[in-house]
Amino acid sequence: MFKPKYYLNPETLRFEKVSLPFWKRIFNTSAGFIFLVIVAAGLRIGFDHYADSPKVTLLLNQNKNLKSSYQYLNDQINRSEKLLAEVQKRDDHFYRAILDVSPIPRSIRDAGMGGSENINDLLLNRSADFVLTTANQLEKLASRVKIQSLSLEELSEIAYHKQKMIAGKPSIQPIAPADSFWLTSTYGVRSDPFTRGRRMHPGIDLAGRIGLKIYATGDGVVTEASVSRHGYGKEIIINHGYGYTSRYAHLHKIMVEPGDKVKRGQHIGLLGSTGRSTGPHLHYEVLYYGKPLNPMYFYYEDLKPDEFSEIVAQASAN
Ligand SMILES: [Zn+2]
């Protein structure tokens, strides 16, 4: 505690004890105490500031790691965005061009990229800027990926139908080019061989020996395989889908049944002379929604015998 203070009394010439009033002594004691408290608090603040406690050091390290993790995430997002941009470019300028579909407008591609208020509301005041940035980037990326995935889904659907339509469309001749046959009647108005009157001939006649192999000209499903009531004799009708059907008439033998799925180049019957026929020939028709079209427009006459054989081989492999 405080040491007693002395002073020289000029009258007595002796050192005498200084006696302070009680309130002054209390004040001196309190001032000392307050001073000590201030010094201690100062030291504590200084210590906290310059020398981190183990807990603070741990948190700081964790924060540093977190920041670098976010940086890594951002890099990954940037890389994914670049890849996605490439896919979008290919989608618009290649896939859509091939399938004859217009590119997706920019406005749709960027849909949902404007505001990310949801994220902001959720994270505001609780997260650092770098967390918000990453969250925003991720949201934009997810929205663009979703649109891209819908686009690819649509294109795959279109491609499937195009492929099916191409496979179905009657596009080869019904008799192998290597076989001996000749065109005896073309499509259009002609004089009827029976009545001699002018009459529409809705297909082509290909003459050849009885028993010549007849092939399906496109993929499809057999809808008729019976004797016609309209003079076509033994006939096969194949539905190729997308409005196309084909008819093979005056057959000697039918080798498929209604409901059979057939492939282009599949052997379906034999050439004959059944029904209203003047000699062994195939009457071949192509119809679009029931309306006859010129079958000559539907096959490549320059298809070489070995190419035709290849199609036949593929059909029988199926
Ligand atoms: Zn005919």
Going from the Cα of 182 to the center of ligand 1, the distance in angstroms, rounded, reads 13
Going from the Cα of 283 to the center of ligand 1, the distance in angstroms, rounded, reads 4
Going from the Cα of 205 to the center of ligand 1, the distance in angstroms, rounded, reads 5
Residue scoring higher pLDDT (225 or 300)? 225
Going from the Cα of 113 to the center of ligand 1, the distance in angstroms, rounded, reads 63
**pLDDT, tens digit, for every residue of 26-85?**
777 777 788 888 888 877 777 666 667 788 889 999 988 988 888 888 899 999 999 999
- Statement: residue 226 has pLDDT above 90: yes
Strands 213-215, 204-208: pairing is: unpaired
Going from the Cα of 223 to the center of ligand 1, the distance in angstroms, rounded, reads 20
Residue scoring higher pLDDT (23 or 275)? 275
The average pLDDT across 269-279 equals 95
Report the C-alpha gap between 88 and 263 in whole angstroms: 36
Q: pLDDT value at position 119?
A: 59
Going from the Cα of 300 to the center of ligand 1, the distance in angstroms, rounded, reads 20
Using 50, 70 and 90 to split pLDDT, how confident is the model at 215? very high
Q: pLDDT value at position 3?
A: 65
Going from the Cα of 237 to the center of ligand 1, the distance in angstroms, rounded, reads 15
Going from the Cα of 116 to the center of ligand 1, the distance in angstroms, rounded, reads 69
Residue scoring higher pLDDT (48 or 284)? 284
Going from the Cα of 305 to the center of ligand 1, the distance in angstroms, rounded, reads 24
Using 50, 70 and 90 to split pLDDT, how confident is the model at 112? low
Are 283 and 250 within 8 A, CB to CB?
yes
H/E run at residue 203: none
Going from the Cα of 258 to the center of ligand 1, the distance in angstroms, rounded, reads 22
DSSP codes, 123-165? HTTTS-HHHHHHHHHHHHHHHHHHHHHHHHHHHHHHHHHHHHH
Going from the Cα of 318 to the center of ligand 1, the distance in angstroms, rounded, reads 31
Going from the Cα of 184 to the center of ligand 1, the distance in angstroms, rounded, reads 9
Q: pLDDT value at position 113?
A: 61
| SS3 category, 161 | helix
Report in angstroms the alpha-carbon separations of 238 from 95, 223, 227, 234. 31, 6, 15, 14
Going from the Cα of 212 to the center of ligand 1, the distance in angstroms, rounded, reads 17
Report the C-alpha gap between 279 and 272 in whole angstroms: 8
**pLDDT, tens digit, for every residue of 160-191?**
999 999 999 999 999 999 999 999 999 999 87
- Residue 80: both structure tokens together: 């994914």
H/E run at residue 254: strand 253-254
Residues 6+ apart with CB under 8 A from 43: none
Report in angstroms the alpha-carbon separations of 35 from 24, 28, 41. 16, 11, 10
Report the C-alpha gap between 302 and 308 in whole angstroms: 10
Going from the Cα of 185 to the center of ligand 1, the distance in angstroms, rounded, reads 7
Are 249 and 214 within 8 A, CB to CB?
no
Dihedral angle computed from the Cα positions of residues 272, 275, 279 and 281, in that order, rounded to the nearest 10 degrees: -50
**Chain centroid, CA 284 distance in Å:** 41
- Residue 25: both structure tokens together: 């002594």
- Residue 310: both structure tokens together: 């290849």
The average pLDDT across 90-104 equals 87
What does the radius of gyration of the chain's CA atoms come to, in whole angstroms?
47
Q: pLDDT value at position 313?
A: 95
The average pLDDT across 252-274 equals 97
Going from the Cα of 308 to the center of ligand 1, the distance in angstroms, rounded, reads 23
